[in-house]
Amino acid sequence: MSQRTSALAPPTAPHRPAEALVVMAHEPDVPVWVARACRRSGRQVRLEPAPGSPEDRLLTVAALAGRSVLLVGPPGGGRAGTGRVVAAVRDLPNDVAVLTEAALAAMALDATVVPVHCVPLSFGERSVGLTDALARGHEVLDAAVAQLAADAPDIPVAPRLLRVHPHELVGEGLDADVLVLGGPRQRIPARVGLVGCSAVQHAPCPVLLAARPG
DSSP symbol at 110: T
Average pLDDT, the chain: 85
Q: Could you read off the pLDDT of 157-207 as tens digits, one per residue? A: 999 999 888 888 887 678 899 999 999 888 778 788 889 999 988 888 999
* Residue 201: Cβ-neighbour burial (10 angstroms; 0-12, 13-18, 19+): middle
55 contact partners, CB below 8 Å, separation of at least 6:
none
Instruction: Give the separation between CA 176 and CA 174, rounded to whole angstroms.
Output: 6
Helix ranges, 50-170 (H)? 54-63, 96-109, 130-151
Neighbours of 153 (CB within 10 A): 8
Q: How confident is the model at residue 1 (pLDDT cuts 50, 70, 90)?
A: very low
* 3-class DSSP assignment, residue 128: coil
**Beta pairing class for 84-88 and 178-182:** parallel
Rounded to the nearest angstrom, the gap between the alpha carbon of residue 28 and the centroid of all alpha carbons in its chain is 24
Neighbours of 188 (CB within 10 A): 7
Q: Could you read off the pLDDT of 96-130 as tens digits, one per residue? A: 999 999 999 999 999 999 999 998 876 555 666 78
For domain 20-210, which CATH number applies: 3.40.50.510, 3.40.50.12370, 3.30.70.260, 3.40.50.150?
3.40.50.12370
Cβ contact 99:87 at 8 Å: yes
Rounded to the nearest angstrom, the gap between the alpha carbon of residue 116 and the centroid of all alpha carbons in its chain is 9
Lowest-pLDDT choice from 6-10, 49-53, 134-138, 198-202: 6-10
